[in-house]
Each structure stands twice: as C-alpha cells, then as structure tokens.
Structure 1
Amino acid sequence: MATILIIGASRGIGLELARQYTEAGERVIATARDDAGRERLQALGAQVLTVDVANPASVSGLAWLLDGEKIDLALYVAGVIRRPNALTPPTQQDFDAVMHTNVLGAMQALPQVAPMVADAQGVFAFVSSSMSQIGSVDDSESWLYRTSKAALNMAVAAAQHDYPGAILLTIDPGWVQTEMGGGEAPLTVQDSVQGMRSTLAGVTAADKGRLLHQDGRRAAHW
C-alpha cells in the first residue's frame, strides 16, 4: 500500500484523485481548507488535514502535520484562475489570489514535503497546464493564470536539483469539466484523473523537472 498525499483535494480534480486512489486501496492523506471539503474526503476514507494553501501561516504547518511520514506520491493540485486577457491589467487582489495559491503555496509546500518524498524514493507532481507553455501561446486568454503556471514550472524544475532522491515534475490534466474548466471541456474529471494516474505510474528519472501531459505525452518545449 502506497501513501499518497493530495494537497488541495476538497473538490474537482483533487477530490477525484482522492476517490480513485482510495478505491485502488492506497492510503490517502488529503488536505482541505474548510469543513465541507473535510467531510467529502472523510466520506471517501481519506485521512484529512486542514490546510489553506493561500494562507502562508497555514501552509507553514504542513511538515509538522506530516511528521514522520514517508510519501510515495505527493500531488499539489490547488489552483485558481482569473480569466481577463492582456487588454485588462490584473488587479492586485486577483494577482495575489492567483499567485498565492498557484505559486507561493506550491513553493512553501515543496521544501516541507519533498524530503518525505525523497525518503520513499517517490514522486512529487504539481498540477500545471498546457496554457503555461511559452512556445505554444495562441492568445492572451487568462494571461495571469498562464503566467502563474509558467512560474510553477520553473519553480519545480529549479527545486529538482535540491532533492535528487525524489522525482519532481509538473503535470497538465488537460481541459477538464470542472468548475474551473467549464462544461465545454472535452475531458471528464474521471478520465483526466485516470490518465494522470497512469502517466504518474510510469515516470522515470528522465522526467525530473519536466512538464507531462495526462495522456502520457512529454512537453517538447515550455
């Protein structure tokens, strides 16, 4: 039985990851920021921790909450989006909301969790997006979100050098039918998570620091 940590698991992709991994018989530790999220995860049989990744003080206690754990697979799933394009400057409120959750939260969680992943010779995956790839930008839609995920890719690629015992990478779940992705997205949450699980099960040391797609493709450029 593997120990799986899912950071940001109260809904959407995170909740489905918790569901599929618990149904597969794995031990799941999942974080939620409110009572409703805790209840959904507890109903699945997950061990639940209360963490708000947008609150630095809350994230700072993650290592203490996980003291003594060896983690085979950790996933940082938490993320928010703001949709204005480059014709509209981001407000400070929107900038802080997106960057705190998508970048700062991940960068705070990484040095707390990565040593536990390294102890298990495991994988630490951060949910990114194909919209982060600088070499394939076709419009400025959600430019703040794009920027945050590009920054996340860099943070993970850089941090990999400090944790040689773990495989750190980012993964694109695809365009998914979630509250963030909308009903027009081609992928169901179930199919996206199934693909992510399959891809993560097959990673090797050659994937360290890379962006992977849920269907197994490796990003040719960022």
Structure 2
Amino acid sequence: MSSTVLVIGASRGIGLEFVRQYRDAGWRVIATVRDEGARERVQALGAEVHLIDVAQPASVSGLGGRLDGERIDVALYVAGVIRRPGALVAPTQEDFDAVMHTNVLGAMQVLTQVAPMVEQAGGVFAFLSSSMSQIGSVQSSGSWIYRASKSALNMVVAAAQNDYPRATLVTIDPGWVQTDMGGASAPVKIEESVSGMRSVLASLTPGDKGQLLHYDGRRAAHW
C-alpha cells in the first residue's frame, strides 16, 4: 500500500511542487486548493483534491469530515500569505487579519482536525515557516506582520506537539525560493527546496519534534 501525503495549500508554487514530487515518488496525494482553476491543475497531476480556503474558518471546519477515516503519513501546511511593509508603517487591520488568519489561525484549525490522523499513522505534520521567524537573528523589520505570524506558528506547533506524542510535528523553512512570494531573484529553485524538505522530513529523529528545521538539513540554532 502506498503512503499518503496531505498537502494543504497546493494551488501553486511550493504546494504544487510537493504534489508533483510526491506523485512522482509513487505516493497517494490528497491536496487542498482555493478555486476550480487550481483544482484542475492539481488533479492533472493525479492528486485527490478538496476545495478549502484556510483564511475562512467556515471553510476549514469541514476538512476533518472530508478526510474521515484517513491515515496520513505526511501532512504539510503550505498555505501562507505575506504583507511586506516594515515597522515604519502601522499595519492595517485588513493586512494583519489576512496574514494572521492564513498563517496562524488556519494552521491551528487544520492542526486539530488533521493531527489525529497523522498520529494514528505515526506520521509527520510539517508547517512551512521561515528563517524570518527567528527572533535571535533579526536584521530588518521588513515584512513585519509576516515575521510575527511565522514566529507565532513556531510556537503553535511546538506547543501542540505535547498533545500528539505519537506524531512528529515540526516547522520547516523552505529557504528563499523562486516563487511568486520569493521573487525571481531568490537563490533557491523551487525543485531544490521541495526536494530538500522531503529529504529532511523523511529523516526526522525524536529530537526534532516541535522544532524549526531548514530545507537543507540545518536545525535552527536559535528561534
């Protein structure tokens, strides 16, 4: 029986590349996307697709029911948004809510529904974070809200690990990747980032539980 991976946020970029690489490796892939156009792209790769908008709590609330009875070997929370102004500009409520709802609240709502399925399989639940979440190495206020959201996500996952001891919960930094968010000048190709993250997630140890990891295998020296 093939292993099962769930990709939350597979519409494009890193999420879509996770679908492609896991399918190429022979895995059964379940994915969530936000719209019909994305559904067609992901289905064309051979994945099972559900329409979910993680920024909308009512949309997320039905995910557990759709996945009822599944054993998830690897779950990935890839969904994320960014707003770029730094600390010279006060955030608007609209920008703050957009980032925090997707990057933090959505992750918390998905976690409580999916983590029991991951735990049943003794699997891995990884949430995409960022090196910009690390408080000990801040060199700029750029993307102020995004930084705060990813630091919060690190805490969400580290805390939740205590309630799901048979699963391995981690946050993982994909690097600065050539995506719509990262830009064309980013140094890491999307294929390299996803391949690296897959390798890291396949070689986790008990000591990695609740930790922030990097796509190239480094463990975060400080948060």
Tell me which interval the TM-score lies in, with the shorter structure as reference length. Answer: over 0.9
Match of 1:31 in 2: 32
Match of 2:203 in 1: 202
2 CA distance for matches of 1:83 and 1:37?
25
Structure 1, gaps ≥5 residues long: none
Match of 1:144 in 2: 145
Post-superposition Cα deviations, 1:171-221, rounded to whole Å, max 9, x if no partner, equal: 000000000000110011111101001111101111000000000000011
Match of 1:54 in 2: 55
Match of 1:8 in 2: 9
Match of 1:100 in 2: 101
Post-superposition Cα deviations, 1:39-81, rounded to whole Å, max 9, x if no partner, equal: 1100000000111000000101110010000000000000000
Match of 1:192 in 2: 193
Per the normalisation by structure 1, the TM-score is 0.99
Match of 1:75 in 2: 76
Percent of paired sites with the same residue = 73
2 CA distance for matches of 1:119 and 1:79?
26
Give the partner amino acid of 1:178.
T
C-alpha displacement of 1:87? 0.1
Post-superposition Cα deviations, 1:135-184, rounded to whole Å, max 9, x if no partner, equal: 00001010100000000000000000000010001000000000000011
1 CA distance for matches of 2:100 and 2:93?
10
> In structure 2, the residue corresponding to 1:6 is in which secondary structure?
strand
Match status 1:131 vs 2:132: yes
Match status 1:165 vs 2:170: no
1 CA distance for matches of 2:27 and 2:121?
15
2 CA distance for matches of 1:198 and 1:165?
21
2 CA distance for matches of 1:14 and 1:205?
26
Structure 2, gaps ≥5 residues long: none
Aligned residues: 222
Match of 2:117 in 1: 116
2 CA distance for matches of 1:136 and 1:8?
28
> In structure 1, the residue corresponding to 2:210 is in which secondary structure?
coil
Superposed structure 1 runs of 4+ greater than 3 Å apart: none
> In structure 1, the residue corresponding to 2:44 is in which secondary structure?
helix
Per the normalisation by structure 2, the TM-score is 0.99
Give the partner amino acid of 1:194.
S
